[in-house]
Amino acid sequence: MERQRIINVANDAAYTNLPPNQIVPILADKGIYLGSESTFYRILKAHKLLNHRQRSKPCQKVKKPKALVATGPNQIYTWDITYLPTTVKGLFFYLYMVMDVFSRKVVGWQVHDNESSALAADLMTDICKREDIKRGQVVLHSDNGSPMKGATMLATLQELGIMPSLSRPSVSNDNPYSESLFRTLKYRPEYPEKAFLNIATSRRWVDDFVCWYNNEHRHSGIKFVTPAQRHTGRDIEILAQRTRLYHAAKARHPERWSGNIKNLEPVGSVYLNPEKGKANSKEVEAA
């Protein structure tokens, strides 16, 4: 019975922490169609299986300044630093993380025991080498923290040919992609409840998170493909395959479909802090 199959899949260890809008595309990429997201939600709700499937809180709307737009990967990066708790009260490790706005891929990260403009500059230099970034290719957006606008960082960006973009003073949500990424990171079930034992432990944990996020996480802002798939352009064929699968499922049981299949066209241009009425405000909020 399909209802029971849906319940069994939702309770499987591989999916127990995922909502239906993550489960359905993962199954689709395996050539399996059990039902739509709404069918999953309806069945799980009826069996009281929707509560606390993720460690998360409701997302908040983001106030948006002037927009930047990316039409492909390696055009706009956003970065920030977040605190990681240690076993010593008041002391933290500092996670530096850079994301590609178009693909949502984490293109670089480091963990250190201090905040430093020089460390941030080293990270950007490493990313540019690895991603083969040319002068004038990338805009780097961040908030107004000291490491972001320190002399060493700004000089390095100028040398690399990267244009800096800073959030407005005293406006904390001008950098929504990085904020959303850190929110996803800190609500992972594996995130330590109290503290990281040492800096080596924190680095191993972040390395595992980035591997999962880039290569396994179906991102709601990019039609539930992974950031790595989007970054390399593989999302186009993956979404086309899902479209064929859903059309076939509808052809087999048209009585189960009230309208057309969902729009699975790849996401086009992506805005950083889009102006009102300028496109993908929903995708900005999601990680």
- Find out whether 79 and 190 touch, Cβ atoms under 8 Å: no
Supply the range of the domain harboring residue 159.
68-215
Q: With CA atoms as reference, report the closest residue to 94 among 76, 126, 118.
A: 118
- Do 44 and 77 lie in one domain? The reply is no
- pLDDT at site 51: 64
- pLDDT confidence tier of residue 278, bands split at 50, 70 and 90: low
Give residue 149's pLDDT band: very low, low, confident or very high (50, 70, 90).
confident
Contacts of 183-192 spanning 24+ positions with Cβ under 8 A: 183/56, 183/287, 184/213, 184/217, 184/287, 185/82, 185/209, 185/213, 186/82, 187/54, 187/55, 187/56, 187/57, 188/55, 189/17, 189/55, 191/55, 192/85
CATH code, 115? 3.30.420.10
| Same-domain pairing of 76 and 116 | yes
In a domain, 280, yes or no: no
In a domain, 206, yes or no: yes
Domain total for the chain? 2
pLDDT digits (tens, 9 = 90+) for 199-247: 999 999 999 999 999 999 999 999 999 999 999 999 999 999 999 999 9
Q: Say if residue 248 is in the same domain as residue 168.
A: no
Q: Do 166 and 175 touch, CB atoms closer than 8 A?
A: no
Does residue 279 belong to any structural domain of this protein? no
- The residue ranking higher by pLDDT, 279 or 91, is 91
pLDDT tens string 31-53? 999 999 999 889 988 888 876 55
* Model pLDDT, residue 63: 47
124 occurs within a structural domain: yes
Residue 280, pLDDT score: 54
Kindly state whether residue 98 falls inside one of the protein's structural domains.
yes
Same domain, 115 and 42: no
48 and 161 co-located in one domain = no
Are 77 and 165 contained in the same domain?
yes
Asked if 133 and 74 sit in the same domain, the reply is: yes
**88/167 same-domain check:** yes
Residue 107 banded pLDDT, cuts 50, 70, 90: very high
Within 10 Å of residue 169's Cβ, how many Cβ atoms? 8
Q: Are residues 41 and 166 in the same domain?
A: no
Output phi, psi for 144, to 5 deg: -100, 25
263 and 124: one domain?
Answer: no
Domain membership flag for residue 284:
no
Distance CA 269, CA 271 (A): 7
CB 85 within 8 A of CB 194: yes
Question: Measuring CA to CA, which residue among 44, 56, 22, 3 is closest to residue 189?
Answer: 56
Contact 6, 34 (CB under 8 A): yes
Q: Show the beta-strand stretches assigned E in 202-275.
A: 270-272
Residues 128 and 171 occupy one common structural domain: yes
Backbone φ and ψ of 80, nearest 5°: -165, 175
Query: Which of 158 and 145 is assigned the larger pLDDT?
Result: 158
The answer to the question of residue 200 being in a domain is yes
58 pLDDT higher than 70 = no
Residues 124 and 240 grouped into a single domain: no
Q: What's the rounded mean pLDDT across residues 47-69?
A: 63
Residue 220 is assigned to a structural domain of this protein: no
d(CA 137, CA 210): 24
Query: Which pLDDT score is estimated for 80?
Result: 95
Residue 282 pLDDT level (bands cut at 50, 70, 90): very low
Task: Tell me the mean pLDDT in the region 175-197.
Answer: 94
- pLDDT at position 176 is 86
Mean pLDDT score across all residues of the chain: 89
Under the banding of pLDDT at 50, 70 and 90, the label for residue 267 is very high
